[in-house]
Amino acid sequence: MKTILKKSLFSYLILCLIVLSCKNNKSTGNTENKKSSDTMPIFRTEIPAYIEKQYLKKFDLIISEHPNLVKKFTLDYINFEDLVKKYKNYSNVKFYFIQDAANSKMNLGVTFSNNSDYKDISSDEKFVLINSKLEEDENLQEKINFYRSSLATQIGFNGKRATECVVYTISDIERYFKQRENVGNGISKLDLTMIYFYKAKDDNGSDYNEDSINHDRISFAVHSVYKNGFVDTGYDAGDLKP
């Protein structure tokens, strides 16, 4: 009787261990999948040159009707990289389209933030692009408001709201730096080339749908420009808001 009881108890313990092992493996798998999803880089998509050319051509038509738009923003690489290093403990970097006044040219504002809410910059570190460098500006909200009430009311297309902000995680930007620094002879600047997403045509004549979620929105393609003059492939525009 004791022998049978011992065998039964032993079998029960083995069964418990097997069940626990299965649960742990399932939990680990879910965690790994979530981790993989959470760390998916925003700069994950190269925009083929022939597709970007179509987006640029479309943007040129729009800028001819809205002359306060600009064709590109240029960031001094060292200046921007230094700020990313300085504020590496922040979780997000937000790029805002702004205007200094209702009828001024569009410019770029940047904040380092611990939230992803594009409407809230109250606790963010605030900067404005001046001569290719980002300089602190506590009046950034006012310039965001000028854009929202002026140019943004004119450049919503086909029922889509105008792009106000592009949000990246700071880890995505750090990863992009590491990736692109290995390509050429040192990055000198970043060109953010303005584009208009729409249903472009692939090489074979079919519709190019990789960017369909952003159709009828303006944004920018990120290009690394190296010290030897080489211009890298354009990368996608991140998380457009709203």
Residue 85 has pLDDT above 90, yes or no: yes
Residue 1, pLDDT score: 46
Residue 160, pLDDT score: 82
Higher confidence at residue 177 or residue 84? Answer: 84
Residue type, position 11, single letter: S
pLDDT band for position 60 (cuts 50, 70, 90): very high
CA nearest to 233, candidates 217, 222, 219? 222
Match 């854009």 to its residue by tokens: 147
Q: Which residues pair with 218 in a beta bridge?
A: 196
Mean pLDDT, the chain, rounded, equals 81
CA nearest to 175, candidates 68, 42, 26? 42
Residue 32, pLDDT score: 36
SS3 of the chain:
CHHHHHHHHHHHHHHHHHHHHHHHHHHHHHHHHHHHHHCCCHHHCEECHHHHHHHHHHHHHHHHHCCCCCCEEEEEHHHHHHHHHHCCCCCEEEEEEEECCCCCCEEEEEEEECCCCCCCCCCCEEEEEECCEEEECCCHHHHHHHHHHCHHHCCCCCCCCCCCEEEEEHHHHHHHHHHHHCCCCCEEEEEEEEEEECCEECCCCCEECCCHHHCCEEEEEEEEEECCCCECCEECCCEEEC
Which whole number is the average pLDDT over 136-144?
96
Six-digit token string for 208 = 């190019």
Residue 5, pLDDT score: 39
Q: Look at the chain and count its residues.
A: 242
CA 117 – CA 130 distance, rounded (Å): 25
CA 204 – CA 128 distance, rounded (Å): 42
pLDDT in tens, 31-52: 333 333 333 334 557 888 888 8
Residue 3 has pLDDT above 60, yes or no: no
Match 């960031």 to its residue by tokens: 75
CA 147 – CA 143 distance, rounded (Å): 6
Which whole number is the average pLDDT over 79-102?
95
Residue 229, pLDDT score: 87
Six-digit token string for 105 = 């040219």
Is residue 161 within 8 Å of residue 29, measured between CB atoms? no
Which whole number is the average pLDDT over 146-172?
90
Percentage of the residues of the chain whose pLDDT score is greater than 70? 78
Residue 232, pLDDT score: 87
Sheet with 92-99, side-by-side order of all strands: 133-136, 125-130, 106-113, 92-99, 165-169, 239-241
Residue 164, pLDDT score: 95
pLDDT band for position 24 (cuts 50, 70, 90): very low
pLDDT in tens, 163-214: 999 999 998 899 888 888 766 678 999 999 999 888 777 777 776 776 666 7
